[in-house]
């Protein structure tokens, strides 16, 4: 068992692509602790199917920018969008250098696929398991680094801070039950989205927005908490647990959506919110629990080569995609809101950074364009590490100890209860923001029957 030190140079909360890429870009002479709530492979990064966007050529810049802004209903931060697109080639180069095996054309150049909302193919992929390929390679690289220590089953319960700065975190070790107060010169929140608060979600159930609740409690601004993305196509099932995604690139490659009479009813390649609305409307009209997705327009070889995991999973659920349509239904998928951060990942509280799905730097606006998330997470996590490296200066230990001394330790005596309270706070904040906008979210709130204690039961969904 790893015994945690009292002080690290950098603490990173989360082992998804954002947390790992941040760790890998912190200077090797700095000590870095990376923690995660469950096992390291229980991150949404691991689940990503479709791929990761890359600007294929300069001539595509304006079109990629316009597609991202249009999908986001022009509520995006244009500077963040520009930074993401301009940084996309560097991100893919870094991943290739790390050993990521993207699909290639016969001449060795990167192969690109297309998804909804994109006006041309610009998505790099590895079969339909792009996230697993990327996360596994980043994890191996991080584990090989002497300055990085990765400790699973450790849950951040709070940050240690005063109004001037963040000095570290309070965390509970789920294995030995110990409560730690850990100091850091810089703390990075890379703790993913909020799918665990919804009953029907493609996300791991451990992702319940703890960082958001913690920031709300400390007055660190959280933006657009009600900007929740619903994915149009998850495999319909009556079973409980995480919903299995049917990647948008399936539609990008030619699959079509059909109503109860097996007739097409929408343009499958519109942005996600539009396709989701069309499906929900059709279900209402038809009085059904799902619509159908027909993958048979895609050539068999293409399906086998590009979507083997989807084919396998559908078979285990009793559907042969080569012979029949599969039932699909929308489910919660992604969180566009989050802890307010700038394009360096900095929050409004000095020494506290937020990157990946936990943060909101405005890049996605009101609705994320497909396959922009891995890219955004990787790029701005690297930026955060670079910002830490360039301005590095240690914390004032006297102030850190005073902030530690001001903690009410009784608050952490029952971590399961505290995490349930955080979850309820996040849900309440989402509802309040949604009703303030006169919005009726097209998804089921709340998730009363979701696991009451995501930390200690784990997630086998």
Ligand X SMILES: Cc1cc2nc3c(=O)[nH]c(=O)nc-3n(C[C@H](O)[C@H](O)[C@H](O)COP(=O)(O)OP(=O)(O)OC[C@H]3O[C@@H](n4cnc5c(N)ncnc54)[C@H](O)[C@@H]3O)c2cc1C
**Left (φ > 0), alpha (ψ -120 to 50) or beta: where does 160 sit?**
beta
Neighbours of 338 (CB within 10 A): 31
CB of 185 within 8 A of CB of 395?
Answer: yes
Pick the binder of ligand X from 4, 24, 51, 447 (CB under 6 A).
51
Q: Between 313 and 431, name the residue whose CB sits nearer to ligand X.
A: 313
**Among 191, 313, 306, 331, which residue's Cα sits nearest to residue 254?**
306
**CA–CA gap between residue 55 and residue 112 (Å, rounded):** 10
Distance of CA 20 to the CA centre of its chain: 13
Count of residues that bind ligand X according to CB under 6 A: 43
Catalytic residues: 272
Neighbours of 188 (CB within 10 A): 33
CB of 191 within 8 A of CB of 214?
Answer: no
**Among 56, 444, 70, which residue's Cα sits nearest to residue 280?**
444
Neighbours of 147 (CB within 10 A): 16
Site map 222..261 versus ligand X, x via CB under 6 A: -----------------------x----------------
Under 8 Å CB-to-CB from 281, ≥6 apart: which residues? Answer: none
Under 8 Å CB-to-CB from 283, ≥6 apart: which residues? Answer: 289, 290, 291, 329
Pick the binder of ligand X from 56, 87, 168, 192 (CB under 6 A).
192
Query: Nearest approach, Cβ of 393 to ligand X (angstroms)?
Result: 26
User: Near ligand X by CB under 6 A, which window of 46-54, 74-82, 91-99, 179-187?
Assistant: 46-54
**Among 392, 373, 391, which residue's Cα sits nearest to residue 381?**
373
Under 8 Å CB-to-CB from 85, ≥6 apart: which residues? Answer: 55, 61, 64, 65, 68
User: Near ligand X by CB under 6 A, which window of 16-24, 84-92, 304-312, 404-412?
Assistant: 16-24
Asked if 16 interacts with ligand X (CB under 6 A), we say yes
Query: Nearest approach, Cβ of 172 to ligand X (angstroms)?
Result: 9
Query: Nearest approach, Cβ of 261 to ligand X (angstroms)?
Result: 30
Q: Between 207 and 325, name the residue whose CB sits nearer to ligand X.
A: 207
Q: Between 138 and 325, name the residue whose CB sits nearer to ligand X.
A: 138
Query: Nearest approach, Cβ of 201 to ligand X (angstroms)?
Result: 8
**Among 234, 249, 50, which residue's Cα sits nearest to residue 132?**
50
Site map 336..375 versus ligand X, x via CB under 6 A: --------------------xxx------------xxxx-
**CA–CA gap between residue 448 and residue 427 (Å, rounded):** 11
Query: Nearest approach, Cβ of 171 to ligand X (angstroms)?
Result: 7
Helix (H) or strand (E) holding 167: strand 166-173
Asked if 47 interacts with ligand X (CB under 6 A), we say yes
Query: Nearest approach, Cβ of 383 to ligand X (angstroms)?
Result: 14
Query: Nearest approach, Cβ of 193 to ligand X (angstroms)?
Result: 6
Q: Between 19 and 327, name the residue whose CB sits nearer to ligand X.
A: 19
Asked if 49 interacts with ligand X (CB under 6 A), we say yes
Pick the binder of ligand X from 10, 12, 18, 328 (CB under 6 A).
18
Asked if 15 interacts with ligand X (CB under 6 A), we say yes
State whether the Cα torsion 333-337-339-344 is positive or negative: positive
Asked if 202 interacts with ligand X (CB under 6 A), we say yes
Pick the binder of ligand X from 94, 210, 268, 425 (CB under 6 A).
210
3-state percent breakdown (helix, strand, coil) of the chain, nearest 5: 35, 20, 45
Pick the binder of ligand X from 87, 116, 131, 362 (CB under 6 A).
131
Pick the binder of ligand X from 7, 10, 11, 14 (CB under 6 A).
14
Pick the binder of ligand X from 207, 216, 336, 395 (CB under 6 A).
207
Asked if 44 interacts with ligand X (CB under 6 A), we say yes
Q: Between 265 and 271, name the residue whose CB sits nearer to ligand X.
A: 271
Report the interface residues with ligand X, using CB under 6 A.
13-19, 35-38, 42-45, 47-52, 130-131, 155-156, 190-192, 202-203, 206-207, 210, 245, 334, 356-358, 371-374, 377
């Amino acid at each position: 068992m790893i015994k945690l030190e009292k002080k690290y140079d950098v603490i990173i909360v989360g082992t998804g692509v954002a947390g790992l890429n941040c760790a890998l870009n912190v200077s090797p002479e700095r000590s870095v602790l990376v923690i995660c709530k469950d096992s390291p492979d229980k991150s949404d990064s691991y689940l990503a199917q479709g791929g990761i966007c890359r600007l294929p050529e300069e001539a595509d810049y304006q079109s990629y920018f316009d597609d991202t802004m249009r999908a986001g209903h022009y509520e995006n931060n244009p500077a963040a969008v520009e930074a993401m697109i301009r940084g996309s080639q560097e991100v893919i180069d870094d991943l290739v250098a790390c050993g990521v095996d993207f699909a290639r054309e016969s001449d060795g150049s990167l192969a690109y696929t297309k998804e909804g909302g994109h006006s041309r193919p610009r998505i790099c992929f590895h079969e339909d398991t792009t996230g697993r390929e990327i996360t596994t390679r980043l994890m191996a690289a991080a584990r090989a680094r002497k300055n990085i220590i990765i400790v699973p089953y450790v849950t951040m319960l709070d940050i240690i801070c005063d109004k001037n700065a963040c000095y570290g975190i309070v965390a509970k070790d789920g294995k030995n039950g110990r409560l730690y107060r850990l100091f850091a010169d810089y703390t990075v929140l890379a703790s993913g989205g909020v799918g665990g608060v919804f009953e029907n979600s493609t996300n791991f159930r451990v992702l319940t927005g703890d960082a958001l609740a913690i920031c709300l409690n400390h007055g660190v601004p959280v933006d657009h908490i009600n900007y929740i993305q619903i994915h149009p196509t998850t495999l319909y099932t009556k079973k409980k647990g995480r919903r299995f995604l049917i990647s948008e690139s399936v539609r990008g490659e030619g699959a079509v959506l059909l109503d109860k009479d097996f007739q097409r009813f929408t343009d499958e390649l519109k942005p996600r919110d539009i396709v989701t609305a069309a499906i929900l409307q059709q279900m209402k009209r038809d009085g059904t629990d799902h619509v159908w997705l027909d993958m048979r327009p895609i050539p068999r070889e293409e399906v086998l080569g590009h979507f083997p995991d989807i084919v396998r999973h559908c078979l285990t659920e009793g559907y042969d995609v080569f012979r029949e349509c599969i039932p699909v239904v929308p489910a919660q998928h992604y969180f566009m809101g989050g802890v307010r951060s700038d394009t360096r990942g900095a929050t409004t509280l000095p020494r506290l950074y937020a990157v990946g799905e936990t943060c909101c730097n405005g890049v996605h606006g009101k609705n994320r364009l497909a396959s922009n998330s891995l890219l955004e997470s990787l790029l701005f996590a690297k930026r955060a590490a670079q910002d830490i490296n360039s301005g590095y200066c240690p914390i004032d230990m006297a102030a850190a100890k005073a902030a530690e001394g001001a903690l009410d330790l009784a608050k952490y005596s029952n971590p399961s209860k505290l995490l349930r309270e955080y979850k309820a706070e996040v849900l309440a904040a989402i509802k309040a923001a949604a009703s303030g906008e006169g919005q009726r979210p097209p998804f089921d709130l709340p998730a009363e029957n979701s696991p009451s204690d995501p930390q200690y039961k784990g997630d086998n969904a």
